[in-house]
Copies of this chain bind each other. A is one copy, B any other.
Amino acid sequence: MPSQTNTERPSGKFLRNAWYVAGFSHELKQKPLLARTILSQPVLLYRDESGELAAIGNRCPHRFAPLSMGRLVGDQVRCIYHGLGFDRSGKCVHNPHGPTGSIAVPAFPLAERDGIVWIWMGEAALADLSTVPRFDRLDTAGYHVDYGYLHGSAHYELMSDNILDLSHIEFLHPALGTEAVSKAKVLVEQQPDRIVVTRRMRDEVLHPGLGGVYRTGTRPVNRTMTVSWAAPANLTLWVDVETIDDGQPWQSGSQSLHLFTPETDSSTHYFYVASLDREKADEATAESFFNALQRVFTTEDKPIIDAQAELIGHSDIMELKPALLPIDKANVFARRRLSKMIAQESGGPNHDSGS
């Protein structure tokens, strides 16, 4: 398990006024007091007696014991060391040894949507619930949905670069690449709130695994991959496949979310959510698709990202002046936007909210 850091001060390197994934709803059932370092701050996530989620600093201000080692008593988290109790606002509301005074830990705005728990690490007054990211295809009535978590030992931008980059498919992922992939151009589109990358493969016979997932078998298909990046590092990847089956048009597809939350400067929480239409795929197909997604990332993407992180070391890849190619356009756009947002934020929390 990654260690928690020793400071609660912002590092100045992260976009703070943004919604980040803190975890999945189901994790809070498995672990009622969930400790997670987010943007280098120790955070405790839990659900109080009413079932409502709370997120407070995980470091007891008295002796710096992790509150996650304590227990839930009513709506309080009680520290295991000396019994101090904190409510969801972070305020100390129970002190068996005297008055609670002004003892407190930070508290963080939260939002729970579609099984995903979002946290706001910046200025609480700026947290706007209407801006919590939402995604289609997460209702389990219509979709098979799979939630997964991986810990990454690399900077989160290196990990989001990898998903936004559709140009590596045929090199890194033999089972996803075909002649048609090599011929297909990667198109990048800048939208006000996102960057969208598209790659359209024509007349392609999918590898048997994929042909099974999309029920296109060995028939020629048109396949479109679309990935959408939104700051700070939330990506959605759609694969749309169409073919003619027995004279009838057949359309299928999948969606996967790739949501990256910085743990520290050099490590990342990688939350992913994959969806497959129940009308187009049965349970077994979905399971094999979900397994394949994880296998591909774990055995093909992750080793490369870990190796990059090791060769890059403590530097930012951009400081090392990499050779920039046209295929890096989307990543350059995304990094530039994020840098600008971080710079604006450092100018003051209200800097870009008008005057």
Contact = CB atoms under 8 A, between A and B. Distances in A.
Interface of A: 3-7, 42, 58-59, 61-66, 69, 78-83, 92, 95-98, 101, 103, 161, 167-168, 170-172, 182, 303-304, 307-308, 310-315, 317, 320, 322-323, 325-328
A304 B82 contact: no
Given A64-B308, A69-B304, A97-B167, 12 more contacts: A4-B311, A5-B313, A7-B313, A42-B311, A58-B311, A61-B323, A66-B311, A81-B172, A82-B327, A83-B170, A97-B327, A98-B325
A313 B65 contact: no
A62 B62 CA distance: 49
A12 B193 CA distance: 47
A322 B304 CA distance: 42
A80 B308 contact: no
B168 A311 contact: no
Question: How many identical chains are in the complex?
Answer: 3
A6 B161 CA distance: 20
Contact of A69 (B167, B303, B320): B303
Nearest to A102: B323
A297 to B, nearest CB: 14
B311 A81 contact: no
A311 B172 contact: no
A189 to B, nearest CB: 18
A308 to B, nearest CB: 5
A66 B170 CA distance: 18
A147 to B, nearest CB: 28
Nearest to A324: B62
A40 to B, nearest CB: 11
A101 B320 CA distance: 18
Contact of A323 (B103, B310, B313): B103
Nearest to A105: B323
Residue from the set A42, A62, A82, A95 with the largest chain B CB neighbour count within 10 Å: A82
A83 B169 CA distance: 10
A36 to B, nearest CB: 14
A171 B82 contact: yes
Nearest to A7: B313
A283 to B, nearest CB: 34
B322 A171 contact: no
Contacts of A3: 310
Nearest to A78: B171
A317 B66 contact: no
Contacts of A171: 78-83, 96
